[in-house]
Structure 1
Amino acid sequence: MKNETITGSLVLVNPKVSNDPAGKQGQVGVLTYARAVDENYVKFPNGAESVYGQKDLMMLKEKEEILQELNKNGLSMPLPDFKAMYKIMMRQDMGTPSDLFSALEIARDHPGIWNKALDTVNRTEKIELENALSR
């Protein structure tokens, strides 16, 4: 099962965002409202809110996908990246909001694993989920 982007999901603002008037690159927030591909509202712990395109927001891949990546390529990864992915997977296993928040921060601090542990926000899946639930 692929990550479903629903409001309330924790997201990471891509640290390489080029146009971020709120200056929240690399910060973790909560997706509060997803209206369009380029209109995703994120609220941050300090109460600030900003709007991003889905390509500018990242979320954790499912724990099973991270485990598969570790099993497949773990031996060839640099040790710090392997440890970071393992820590992320363990935080996901705990499942509390603070653990998931920490997992995103760990991922943020290890650019070498971004493509292995993070996905961009996918609004299409959110729409499909809403349609399925409204039936």
Structure 2
Amino acid sequence: MTDDLKGTFVLVHPELPYDPANKQNEIGSITHSDLSNDDVFVSFGDEPALYEPDALLVLMPMEQIHANLAELAYETTFRDLKSLTQIDLFLRYGSDNKEFMALELARDNKNIQPLCLESLGEQIRRSLSQYPER
């Protein structure tokens, strides 16, 4: 899975208590990872910064975001509904930078983050549980 992560866009958790790179709430791209040591290197256009997988947020699987959108309550604000709909559409029909654009929308609307973002650590653990070692 280490090579699979290269190029993945991530959002540094906005409430990360300790971030030596000072990149909270910024979007970067994974350049390298060593999951056996919980090391993920993220580039923000300058030198890579080192993070643990749980400090980074990624988009949920497209099907989960779509299901969350379909289950939204009538009390949901128009802004939240619009943002989540745009994320769903970007991921389904968007261009080459669709993941980046979807992360920007999620970053800018904290209300929808639980409906479209999860930690990279959660995603890795789920992936590993689906494919147990032989």
TM-score by length of structure 1 reads 0.80
CA distance in 2, matches of 1:57, 1:104: 12
* Structure 1, gaps ≥5 residues long: none
The answer to whether the 8 Å contact 2:31/2:48 transfers is no
Partner of 2:17: 18
State the AA in 1 paired with 2:106.
Answer: A
* Alpha-carbon contact 1:108-1:114 (below 8 Å) kept: yes
Structure 2 unaligned regions, length at least 5 = none
Partner AA of 1:24 in structure 2: K
RMSD over equivalenced CA pairs, Å: 2.6
Is 1:66–2:65 an aligned residue pair? yes
Q: Distance in 2 between matches of 1:66 and 1:26?
A: 20
Query: Hey, what's the Cα distance between the residues in 2 that align with 1:35 and 1:131?
Result: 19
Percent of residue pairs identical = 27
1:43 aligned partner, one-letter code: S
Give 1:86's aligned amino acid.
T
TM-score by length of 2: 0.81
Q: How does 1:35-50 map to 2 (within 5 A)?
A: 35-36=34-35, 38-44=38-44, 46-50=45-49
Higher relative contact order (CA 8 A, sep 6+): 1
* Structure 2 counterpart of 1:39, one-letter code: D
Q: Distance in 1 between matches of 2:48 and 2:131?
A: 24
Give matches, 1:45-124, under 5 Å. Answer: 46-122=45-121, 123-124=124-125
CA 7–125 in structure 1, closer or farther in 2 if over 3 Å, else same = farther
Q: Contact 2:80/2:111 (CA < 8 Å) preserved in 1?
A: yes
Q: For 1:48 and 1:131, locate their aligned partners in 2 and report how far apart those are by CA, in whole Å.
A: 35
Aligned mates of 2:28, 2:126 — CA distance in 1: 20
Q: Kindly tell me: are residues 14 and 22 of structure 1, through their superposed partners in 2, closer, same or farther at Cα, counting changes over 3 Å?
A: same
Q: Distance in 1 between matches of 2:8 and 2:25?
A: 16
